[in-house]
Amino acid sequence: MAGMGARLVAFAAAVLAAATCAGAGVTSEYRRKLEATVDMPLDADVFRVPPGYNAPQQVHITLGDQTGTAMTVSWVTADELGSSTVKYGRSPDKLKRTAEGSHTLYEYFNYTSGFIHHCTLTNLQHGSKYYYAVGFGHTVRTFSFTTPPKPGPDAPFKFGLIGDLGQTFDSNSTLVHYEENGGDAVLFMGDLSYADNYPLHDNNRWDTWARFVERSVAYQPWIWTTGNHELDFEPDLGETTPFKPFTHRYPTPFRAAASTEPFWYSVKIASAHVVVLASYSAYGKYTPQWRWLQDELTKRVDRKVTPWLIVLMHSPWYNSNNYHYMEGETMRVQFEQWLVDAKVDLVLAGHVHSYERSRRFSNIDYNIVNGKATPRPNEHAPVYVTIGDGGNIEGIANNFSSPQPAYSAFREASFGHATLEIKNRTHAYFAWHRNHDGAKAVADAVWLTNRYWMPTADDA
């Protein structure tokens, strides 16, 4: 550690001397209140079961194909099976079209889920508002969403970026602030409910979480990444199928993305090609994920149509927090060269419960004998953002390594979320919003320049 630290200091000095990038990174001294984060109680307003016999609850949507001409609607009924039908249309009082879904349920130790319905609406038009209703036969509830614009190089879009949300009072303020900022879809970097922090992984906390976020995710698609809190692998409880609650509850459009598992896939939203990777599924050479990613990056990305190449994962590759230090390292070693070759614009991760943004750096020269282990500035490399600061029950990760490594541009131990506003093929505005004890505040922001269309321009 000491040797590494000394090398980083020497290296930081060299970078400053070379002046190829902005000055020393910022470790923000801002500190949120330090009371423990606690989950909202089971009788909290946000967890209320909607009124009416067998009323659909936990309604959520995600893309049903790669670009949003299909949308998958999911919900739970608790009293009896009920209907898996969705009626939908362009006008709230004329839901002329009908789609028939299916249902599933699962057991986890001594918990039995409600009836979980999934129904994919197809043949939607891009950039159009739809209304949809579920719960036929008993209590009907109506919602709406707007499909993303057709993929195209200058199609603007505003993403919300959230990770490690959980269901504490802080999680609620993160969601409130995101709603105030008004994004069109959420890229979610994994760790949803934190139900596994409870005895027996109390799966009722999967239900409360889904009721909590319904107010956003019933109206706009959230794109799901798997985190370690989705594993729910607990041999002591006889639960040996990883991701059991997650896979029953949260479908992903992986087949449309030529993937063979729901945990790694891609979507093309407006001018962005979003690749979702799975930190907790095999990614070594020759594995299904490795083969899929190779084909994805070399054959299926077209920057002329979707200039913005964004990669999501749970465990960060560049993380200067002592919390979860180096956990993403094996995946970085496996895939970083590919991401640099592909000129990825932005890599988003969660897992570490604080915020950090990197400069464009890479560490691809290293091999086991040459000793070149220090990350170096690289204009073709992505910006890495760690945004596992959604506000979950495990609290804030406020122990950053010192000195701040040269690759780290800004880091702060506060809860919050970010937005990414893609303006056109060359420019996107990234802003991190700290929860700031109640009022949202922009604490870090940067204009990103596209790595395909403006490969040598600095971010500002």
Ligand X SMILES: *[C@@H]1O[C@H](CO)[C@@H](O)[C@H](O)[C@H]1NC(C)=O
Structure tokens of 223?
């794109």
**Which among Fe ion, ligand X, none contacts residue 322 (Cβ within 5 to 8 A by kind)?**
ligand X
**For residues 211-250, which are near Fe ion according to CB under 5 A?**
227-228
Cβ(387)–Cβ(417) below 8 Å: yes
Q: Does 193 bind Fe ion (CB under 5 A)?
A: no
Q: Residue 458: name the closest of 383, 398, 387 by CA.
A: 383
* C-alpha to C-alpha distances, 189 to 127, 155, 178, 425, nearest whole angstrom: 25, 23, 15, 24
The residue among 16 and 457 lying less far from ligand X, judged by its C-beta, is: 457
**Which among ligand X, Fe ion, none contacts residue 172 (Cβ within 5 to 8 A by kind)?**
ligand X
The residue among 287 and 322 lying less far from ligand X, judged by its C-beta, is: 322
Q: Element (H or E) spanning 12, and its range? A: helix 2-18
Concerning whether 273 is annotated as a catalytic residue, the answer is no
Pick left, alpha or beta for residue 88 (phi over 0 → left; psi -120 to 50 → alpha; otherwise beta). beta
- The least distance separating Fe ion from the CB of residue 350, rounded to whole angstroms, comes to 6
Annotated active-site residue in 118, 177, 201, 324: 324
Q: Could you tell me which stretch among 47-55, 89-97, 184-192, 329-337 binds Fe ion (CB under 5 A)?
A: 184-192
Please give the Cα distance from 35 to 38 (Å, whole number).
9
The residue among 151 and 316 lying less far from Fe ion, judged by its C-beta, is: 316
The residue among 39 and 261 lying less far from ligand X, judged by its C-beta, is: 39
- The least distance separating ligand X from the CB of residue 261, rounded to whole angstroms, comes to 30
**Which among Fe ion, ligand X, none contacts residue 176 (Cβ within 5 to 8 A by kind)?**
ligand X
DSSP 3-state of 396: coil
The residue among 153 and 350 lying less far from Fe ion, judged by its C-beta, is: 350
The residue among 65 and 207 lying less far from ligand X, judged by its C-beta, is: 207
Please give the Cα distance from 312 to 280 (Å, whole number).
13
Q: Residue 278: name the closest of 286, 290, 268 by CA.
A: 290
- The least distance separating ligand X from the CB of residue 318, rounded to whole angstroms, comes to 17
- The least distance separating ligand X from the CB of residue 216, rounded to whole angstroms, comes to 11
**Which among ligand X, Fe ion, none contacts residue 426 (Cβ within 5 to 8 A by kind)?**
ligand X
The residue among 69 and 193 lying less far from ligand X, judged by its C-beta, is: 193
**Which among ligand X, Fe ion, none contacts residue 228 (Cβ within 5 to 8 A by kind)?**
Fe ion
> Which residue's CB comes closest to Fe ion?
351
What strand order describes the sheet that includes 102-104? 57-63, 71-77, 115-121, 102-104
**Which among Fe ion, ligand X, none contacts residue 191 (Cβ within 5 to 8 A by kind)?**
Fe ion
Strand ranges in 136-293 using DSSP code E only, listed in sequence order: 141-146, 157-162, 185-188, 222-224, 265-269, 272-276
**Which among ligand X, Fe ion, none contacts residue 399 (Cβ within 5 to 8 A by kind)?**
ligand X
DSSP 3-state of 257: helix
**For residues 323-362, which are near Fe ion according to CB under 5 A?**
351
Reported for 285-293, long-range contacts at CB under 8 A and 24+ positions apart, including other chains, are 285/334, 288/260, 288/261, 289/261, 289/263, 289/264, 290/334, 292/258, 292/259, 292/260, 292/264, 293/264, 293/335, 293/338
Q: Which residues contact ligand X by CB under 6 A?
A: 40, 44-46, 110, 169, 172, 176, 200, 322, 399, 423-424, 426-427
Out of 191, 214, 230, 261, the residue judged to bind Fe ion by CB under 5 A = 191
Question: What residues does 60 pair with on adjacent strands?
Answer: 74
Pick left, alpha or beta for residue 66 (phi over 0 → left; psi -120 to 50 → alpha; otherwise beta). alpha
- Which residues lie near Fe ion (CB under 5 A)? 191, 227-228, 351
Q: Which residues are catalytic?
A: 324
